[in-house]
Amino acid sequence: MEIRVNQIVLNGHTFQYRESGDVSAPPLVVLHALGKSAESWDQVAAALGENYRVLALDQRGHGGSARTNTYTFELMCDDLLHFADALNLGRFSLIGHSMGGTVSYLFSQTFPSRIDRLIVEDTPPPFSDEPIEVPSQPSGPLPFDWQVVPSIIQQLNVPDPEWWARLTDIMMPTLVIGGGSSHIPQNKLQEVSELIPNCELVTIEDAGHFVHEDNLSAFLAAVTRFLSKGQAHS
């Protein structure tokens, strides 16, 4: 399946995204983890591109997108809104992993009428826990802006309690996929699934945090089953 790499200016910043599938197919936006890029979704996009228009966005500071020096989950949520509006995506389905998953919760709480179905891979919204130390910057070039790391860790360490309080505002069908043996507490994913009114939790045991990389077939099976539920078959 061909993957097309495009650039677009959103709110004064250049963003890069990868697109696969037919332009007239139902749109599906995918958001990557901290330090990753849209390319990390290529295998998923190749499979889902058979039935969906898959749009994988390089979030700010990552991949081919702008290094903006300012990074928050809220700004990434705004970026997604500008992206969806620029591409005339009235409603779309959304998959987010890790950092991209938190952006996806936030977007779905704030703009619930825009999302058909929500899928979050192995992350709850940030919650108060042992503070995370900012690691020292590695030497050598990075495929992302290092400034993202201390910015996002700051929000993980001092999370907005509203993000949990507003999980009940996520009204669209939602699938949370846990990796089982992950550094993410799986009981937190269970809590999320109980707070979101129409939510299913699927655990892919021993997949770890990067479920779609470590057990692609099980990830795709869960996602395709969930996305095809309730669709009118011609």
Q: Is the pLDDT of residue 234 over 70?
A: no
Rounded-to-integer distance, Cα 177 and Cα 204, Å: 7
In a domain, 108, yes or no: yes
CATH number for 38: 3.40.50.1820
Residue 223 lies in a domain: yes
Mean pLDDT over residues 117-136, rounded?
Answer: 94
Query: How many domains are there within the chain?
Result: 1
Give the containing element (helix H, strand E) for 211.
Answer: helix 211-214
> Does residue 57 form part of some domain?
yes
The answer to whether residue 233 is domain-embedded is: no
Output the pLDDT for position 230. Answer: 63
Decide if 64 is inside a domain.
yes
Reply yes or no on whether the pLDDT at 233 is more than 70: no
Q: Is the dihedral of CA 185, 186, 189, 193 positive or negative?
A: negative
| Residue 165 in this model has a pLDDT that exceeds 50 | yes
31 assigned to some structural domain: yes
Examine residue 234 and state whether it is found in any structural domain, yes or no.
Answer: no
> Among all chains, which residue has been given the structure tokens 């928050």?
72
Q: Which amino acid is at 73?
A: F
Which domain does 41 fall in, by range? 4-228
Percent of the chain exceeding pLDDT 70 equals 98
Residue 129's pLDDT is: 87
Give the Cα separation of 153 and 151 in Å (integer).
6
Token digits for 175? Answer: 């699938």
- Residue-wise pLDDT tens digits, 43-71: 999 999 999 999 999 999 999 999 998 99
d(CA 65, CA 144): 9
Q: How far apart are CA 164 and CA 170, in angstroms?
A: 11
